[in-house]
Structure 1
Amino acid sequence: MSDSVMHDKGSKGVSRRRFIAGTSSILGAVALAGHPTAAQAKAAAAAAPIDPGAHVPVLVIGTGYGGSVAALRLAQAGIDVHMIEMGMAWDTPGSDGKIFCNTTSPDYRSYWLRTKTKQPISNFLGFPIDKNTPRHTGILDAEEMGGIIVYQGRGVGGGSLVNGGMAVTPRRENFGAVLPSVNADEMYGTYYPRANAGLGVSTIDPAWFDTVDCYQYARVGRKHAQRSGFPFIFVPDVYDWDYMKQEAAGTVPKSAVAGEILYGNNHGKKSLQQTYIAQAKATGKVTISPLHKVTSVAPAAGGGYTVVIDQINTNGDTTTTKTVTADKVFFAAGSVGTSKLLVKLKATGALPNLNSETGKGWGDNGNVMCGRANHLWDPTGKVQSGIPCSGIDNWAAGGAFAEVAPLPTGIETYASFYLSITKNPNRAQFSWNAAAGKVDLNWQTAWKQASIDMAKTIFDKINAKEGTIYRTDLFGTYKIWGDHLTYHPLGGAVLNKATDNYGRLHGHPGLYVIDGSLIPGNTSVNPFVTITALAERNIEKIIATDL
């Protein structure tokens, strides 16, 4: 948004009215009531989705981290793979010439089949900022279930489309609590390096960080953390830092520096579309069906599995139901998608031999959010990169790792914002609700109190040292903590419990889980590097022994 919208020309300050108007528009109050272009419709029609009655050697359900790793490595081993993706391909620009809409102006591309945005920050200065948008198969799903909102990416590339790209490998000493049945030497010697290379992980240039305006918010976060005695660390990311330097210099179209994060990134971010999926497609052995949703997997009479798939349109309506067969099926629909599907298939008798661990061990990675109101001498900057690059590590002492997060409003807010990952011990279970014909999750919002207490070990101390207070206007009226959501769903088909130690589902040979549902609820940091590394480990074993 241009300065002229935010400020009266020539004025030194911002009126309260303009401040609210400007901020709410950035955080999502301006909904562009746009609709798909003819080019988008044509591209969707030109895609070659899976044929009814098709037989495929391997079907992968989902195109996120685990599914993309599996598809690439299987293809490299000479095996034909078909991937099924519920969301869109995200390869065709809209009428504004961009594939993704901006955080500041959510339109039909923003949310998955909602008629109103459901933003993580729902209020500002006492005003609700969610706005109406056209119902569409948008990129971000805010799925409400069991006392929690689970944010998930919808489209080819899954969560990689909508996350901040923070590519964190857990500290070695914490790994035993994350995946106790997995050899840490192998993970840190082979699979974490392989995942980081495949994802294109790198770290910000510290000298550039120290000077550029778009990371003033993170420098304020560093100063406050260090003055309270907390370790401040730079966190690797999958963003192209050279591109961001050019953005900041004004020589290329702005993406992160324009605050793009929630609803996709148009330029510098190395999502799975640019890494694993691009490599997989280049083999010529991987095809993808977007806007397809698997509803059933059951043993086929002649061996392998019968898979029922609904093809949907951009309104979410089923247009065709297809039945195909696959020799092997990989569940990679994400922690929630895979868990819900497996629980339903076990309960309804399609996959009766799945064991009693199916649906258990689900957690939120201890996510909780908060904001702090800084003094006027600690401005955080009106230009903020949407890509976070740093964190505060109090995991050992207080059970919390806090990402220093952007609040890209386009105006000065004097606010520091954080997403904390905590050692929350609570785990939920998915179960089949026969009466409603759906899967329920028994998570309780009250369970987030453990996360709040752990996050407070950082922020109470910083507030006391700095003489600052928590923001109370971001998550409702007089509500300090964003305790209603998670960006990091994990578990539900836990490794070495619901599956064997490599993701093979018990009781049904040829069925595998290869996504975040294998990880029991917590990774101590942002989870996608661990999901990717575990998938690299598991698929290597499966190719060597099962194929």
Structure 2
Amino acid sequence: IYANVLLRKEEETFIHEDPRDGSYEDWPVTRADLEAHYDAVEKMMAAQRYPLEHEPYKSTAKTQAMKLAAQRMGRAADWQLPPLAVTFGNPGEVPMTGVPIREEHPNLHGRTRTTCHLCGECDIGCNSGSKNTLDYTYLSAAKRAGAELRTRAEVTELWPADGGGYVVQYLDHSDVTEGTPREGPRSLVPRTTVTADRLVMAAGTFGSTYLLLKNRRHFPAMSHQLGSRFCGNGDLLGFLRECHDTSTGKKLPRVLDGGHGPVITSALHFRGQEEGGTGRGYYIEDAGYPEFVNWLYEGAHQARLVHRGLRLAWRLVRGWTGLTRDSDVSEEIAELLGDSLGSATSLPMLGMGRDIPDGHMRLTADGMLDIDWRLKGSRQYFDRLRESMADIARTLEGTLVDNPLSYLSRVITVHPLGGCPMGRAPSSGVVDASGEAFGHPGLYVVDGAMMPGPTGPNPSLTIAALADRFADHLIDAHFRAAPGRARDRTEERPWQSAPPM
């Protein structure tokens, strides 16, 4: 899941550990190597922080609650409004909801976008175009530059071409109606073959690793590290429930309203030992959701809902049969709908950080991707993260509800990383510090699979910064291979967006 957050990996966590330790991390790049690329990506993604100083954003209850919790815990300096790939306002203007976004160039959809409506639908699809996704940024720029974009292309096989370059074969699903299964055997699906001087793998942590494992027979020089260093970026899901406010001497419901605002608005950083703290560091962020989730939450309490429904039905029967002359059923209808305090005073929290990247991916006998990652090595990290979530719950006078899978020693991750990790040599990685595969020149991996360990915060910005760095390397390699041509840097990135607010 991509929830808009653009946080940089902390400088101290680009670590170099002893490779004799089976759970080591060794980053062949530094924060300094990525600073210019972080800047470039933030500019391209038009990053903006949540404008909490303006209304209606100032009234976002979940953001204010997390800020209050940080203050009460003595961690005000560790709380922040992270840069988000969301447009809240046009540059130079006061942020406003639902106003047209001014774009320097039309996007590839040719559609008018509007600023954030605070609907919480970021993770299921932003229907207003407020979320600065790849189609509105990099892909629109690529199309203007002449790139051909092909969708519904399922890559099945790839191999080195005779004489250099690579061959890619894919199934073309472009003739299938969206949302309907394809009928008939896969052998009847149209197949297309393309060739490339340089091949960039960007199918995601699972997709890129799966494709290389599946086609490993074609890549005899591929590092034996393929499939290694998997981790979930320390992800942990927790739930604040039934929070209260007793500051006035009365026990009042503390409304958090997770359905108002973008999914994530703020982050609380707990620093690790490399950053002057203890253990392995992590972040805790508020997590919003679409408004309909509130209805699902209330409807899930069937016993109470049935009881309220029966009371309304009995009241209507009494009116129809003349047992009462009171035709006002507004009280009963209001009771049926409920006060929604259960959902209004509850909120998911997203934890993420530096778990141990000691997982492995492999293919099963029937060709399915299988992951072997054990909680044992990261248990101390997760215990500390869970305790910090409990501290937030206590501070907001509520309770922490753990992810039910934790009782089965399972965790959920929306940030899978590793599988084709960077390294200094084939003995420690699949690709080098420029994303190029050891033993296979011109083959690049530029997604979460290339991570040799967790990023700590949301990994999207670091993945993009590395991809930007790798793109520079690829372009330089192209000009080195073309005698008599020099790279013109006078008009670098002319398609980038205006500076962020």
TM-score, normalised by the number of residues in structure 1? 0.63
Supply the distance in 2 between the matched residues of 1:486 and 1:172 (Cα, whole angstroms). Answer: 24
Query: Are 1:342 and 1:359, in contact at CA under 8 Å, matched by a contact in 2?
Result: no
Give the alignment's Cα RMSD to 1 decimal: 2.9
Supply the distance in 2 between the matched residues of 1:500 and 1:253 (Cα, whole angstroms). Answer: 41
The corresponding residue for 2:230 is: 362
Supply the distance in 1 between the matched residues of 2:390 and 2:464 (Cα, whole angstroms). Answer: 34
Note the C-alpha offset of 1:535.
1.0
Note the C-alpha offset of 1:173.
2.7
In the TM superposition, what are the counterparts of 1:468-487 in structure 2 within 5 Å? 468-471=398-401, 475-476=403-404, 483-487=410-414
Amino acid at match of 1:515: D
Note the C-alpha offset of 1:451.
4.6
The corresponding residue for 1:9 is: none
The corresponding residue for 2:266 is: 390
Name the SS for the 2:390 alignment partner. Answer: helix
Supply the distance in 2 between the matched residues of 1:518 and 1:426 (Cα, whole angstroms). Answer: 12
Note the C-alpha offset of 1:483.
5.0
Question: Out of 36, 39, 52, which is 1:206 matched to?
Answer: 52
Q: Is the counterpart of residue 519 in structure 1 residue 381 in structure 2?
A: no
Using the TM superposition, name which of 367-376 and 439-448 deviates more.
Answer: 439-448
Q: Is the counterpart of residue 224 in structure 1 residue 64 in structure 2?
A: no
The corresponding residue for 1:400 is: 282
Name the SS for the 1:297 alignment partner. Answer: strand
The corresponding residue for 2:201 is: 331
Supply the distance in 2 between the matched residues of 1:482 and 1:241 (Cα, whole angstroms). Answer: 40
Query: Are 1:430 and 1:492, in contact at CA under 8 Å, matched by a contact in 2?
Result: yes
The corresponding residue for 1:507 is: 439
Name the SS for the 1:247 alignment partner. Answer: coil
The corresponding residue for 2:137 is: 275
Distance 1:542 1:249, change over 3 A: closer
The corresponding residue for 1:301 is: 162
Amino acid at match of 2:58: V
Q: Is the counterpart of residue 247 in structure 1 residue 97 in structure 2?
A: yes
Over the matched positions of the two proteins, sequence identity in percent amounts to 23
Note the C-alpha offset of 1:300.
2.0
Query: Are 2:353 and 2:455, in contact at CA under 8 Å, matched by a contact in 1?
Result: no
Note the C-alpha offset of 1:209.
6.7
Supply the distance in 2 between the matched residues of 1:262 and 1:308 (Cα, whole angstroms). Answer: 31
The corresponding residue for 2:192 is: 322
Q: Higher relative CO (CA 8 A, sep ≥ 6), structure 1 or 2? A: 2
Note the C-alpha offset of 1:509.
1.9
Structure number, greater radius of gyration: 2
The corresponding residue for 2:392 is: 462
Question: Out of 384, 409, 416, which is 1:489 matched to?
Answer: 416
Using the TM superposition, name which of 178-187 and 305-314 deviates more.
Answer: 178-187
Q: Is the counterpart of residue 423 in structure 1 residue 354 in structure 2?
A: yes
Name the SS for the 1:362 alignment partner. Answer: strand
Supply the distance in 2 between the matched residues of 1:388 and 1:256 (Cα, whole angstroms). Answer: 14
The corresponding residue for 2:3 is: 164
The corresponding residue for 1:105 is: none
Note the C-alpha offset of 1:304.
2.0
The corresponding residue for 1:233 is: 80
Query: Are 1:330 and 1:513, in contact at CA under 8 Å, matched by a contact in 2?
Result: yes
Supply the distance in 1 between the matched residues of 2:41 and 2:133 (Cα, whole angstroms). Answer: 13
Supply the distance in 2 between the matched residues of 1:253 and 1:544 (Cα, whole angstroms). Answer: 38
Note the C-alpha offset of 1:447.
6.2
Distance 1:206 1:176, change over 3 A: farther
Distance 1:211 1:481, change over 3 A: farther
Question: Out of 7, 17, 29, which is 1:182 matched to?
Answer: 29
Note the C-alpha offset of 1:249.
9.5
The corresponding residue for 1:23 is: none
The corresponding residue for 2:467 is: 535
Distance 1:534 1:316, change over 3 A: farther
Distance 1:356 1:388, change over 3 A: same
Query: Are 2:258 and 2:346, in contact at CA under 8 Å, matched by a contact in 1?
Result: no
CA deviation map 1:371-418 (0-9, x unaligned): 122124321137511331211111333522111111444555201321
The corresponding residue for 1:34 is: none
Amino acid at match of 2:219: L
Distance 1:211 1:504, change over 3 A: closer
Note the C-alpha offset of 1:250.
13
Distance 1:217 1:463, change over 3 A: closer
Note the C-alpha offset of 1:466.
4.5
The corresponding residue for 1:291 is: 152
Distance 1:542 1:519, change over 3 A: same
Amino acid at match of 2:49: T
Amino acid at match of 2:227: G
Supply the distance in 2 between the matched residues of 1:426 and 1:304 (Cα, whole angstroms). Answer: 32
Name the SS for the 2:254 alignment partner. Answer: coil
Supply the distance in 2 between the matched residues of 1:437 and 1:467 (Cα, whole angstroms). Answer: 49
Note the C-alpha offset of 1:241.
1.2
The corresponding residue for 2:334 is: none
CA deviation map 1:478-516 (0-9, x unaligned): x78995321111111111211122111122222111111
Note the C-alpha offset of 1:182.
0.9
Q: Is the counterpart of residue 265 in structure 1 residue 265 in structure 2?
A: no
Distance 1:448 1:265, change over 3 A: farther
Query: Are 2:61 and 2:257, in contact at CA under 8 Å, matched by a contact in 1?
Result: yes
Amino acid at match of 1:282: R
Distance 1:249 1:498, change over 3 A: closer
In the TM superposition, what are the counterparts of 1:105-124 in structure 2 within 5 Å? none
Distance 1:329 1:408, change over 3 A: same
In the TM superposition, what are the counterparts of 1:93-132 in structure 2 within 5 Å? none
Supply the distance in 2 between the matched residues of 1:471 and 1:264 (Cα, whole angstroms). Answer: 27
Distance 1:480 1:199, change over 3 A: farther
Question: Out of 363, 384, 408, which is 1:432 matched to?
Answer: 363
Query: Are 2:257 and 2:347, in contact at CA under 8 Å, matched by a contact in 1?
Result: no
Note the C-alpha offset of 1:460.
2.8
Distance 1:482 1:531, change over 3 A: farther
Query: Are 1:256 and 1:265, in contact at CA under 8 Å, matched by a contact in 2?
Result: no
Name the SS for the 1:288 alignment partner. Answer: coil
The corresponding residue for 2:254 is: 378
Note the C-alpha offset of 1:438.
2.6
Query: Are 1:255 and 1:266, in contact at CA under 8 Å, matched by a contact in 2?
Result: no
